[in-house]
Structure 1
């Protein structure tokens, strides 16, 4: 799946991402991004199994947390790095829009994955993505991404059942041409 840059996505719940440019580097493609996050908004605890993510605050205040550690905060000019395989979350900890610039490396399928997740959030009208789309994306890209806020029973039982029902009902036709997931590391 090819995207033209810049490519903007908005989840309808306070987060906008602009994928600015893809830089081809010898050790993997680096995707340059900008984001804008409304006060109190931000992604829940998640992990990128095969990517590093860096955010530099342009304006506002970011709150962030690595799983098992205390919440931390950073302001204008500060950079936060989330290494691959490290579960994390971040949010706008201020009262004005949080604006960051940053990168994700290697880019892998992140543009497709986040575009699809944001579309599923818009479809549901909430921070919870539409269930069939979420089941498809979490199942297909399990080797690359995980959402740790999902209770274990839901992950092990409900999501696989929802995924199978979605397949039977033909709910995933709009995912035709989705990039192949990377093998688990």
Structure 2
């Protein structure tokens, strides 16, 4: 997949990401950019199995939570970091657009994955991505990401069935150039 930076994506549900580039660092690559989130919006509880993620608030107030812990907040100039494998969520806890500088390391497939998830959300017109695209992405990239607010029955039964049905119905041709998932070492 060839991406030109800056690369902007929007999900139609209050989130906009601008990927500004990828920096090569001695211990791996880091994708960096900005996010803009409308009041009350933000991703549900999720996990990046292989990546650390950080935010510095430029404008507004971010609410965030690590699974099993209490909700916390950060304001302008403050930074938060989620370690790989740490389930978390964040949202705009203010009344104006939340703007953050953000990074994820290592970059792996995050730009493709989030671009595809945002496109699937825009396609459905809801926070939930279009079902076949979601099944494909959550199956192919299960070694990298998981959405923990999806009920276990849906994750373990419905998504695999939807994925298989999508293969039979040729629903995944638009993913022909999708990068391979990164496997844990």
TM bucket, shorter chain: over 0.9
Q: Aligned residue for 1:2?
A: 2
The unaligned stretches of length 5 or more in structure 1 are none
Q: Aligned residue for 1:142?
A: 142
CA-CA distance at 1:25 after TM superposition: 1.1
Distance 1:126 1:184 in 2: 32
Q: Aligned residue for 1:14?
A: 14
Q: Do structure 1's residue 157 and structure 2's residue 164 form an aligned pair?
A: no
Q: Aligned residue for 1:53?
A: 53
Q: TM-score, normalised by structure 1?
A: 0.99
Q: Aligned residue for 1:80?
A: 80
| SS class of match (1:13) | coil
Q: Which moved more, 1:25-34 or 1:13-22?
A: 25-34
Deviation string, structure 1 residues 6-47 (Cα, Å, up to 9, x no partner): 000000000000000110112111111100000000000000
Aligned residues: 185
Structure 1 residue runs of 4 or more that deviate by more than 3 Å after TM superposition: none
Deviation string, structure 1 residues 75-113 (Cα, Å, up to 9, x no partner): 000001000000000000001000000211000000000
Name the Cα RMSD after superposition: 0.6
CA-CA distance at 1:70 after TM superposition: 0.1
Q: Aligned residue for 1:28?
A: 28
The unaligned stretches of length 5 or more in structure 2 are none
Distance 2:34 2:152 in 1: 32
CA-CA distance at 1:184 after TM superposition: 3.1
Q: TM-score, normalised by structure 2?
A: 0.99
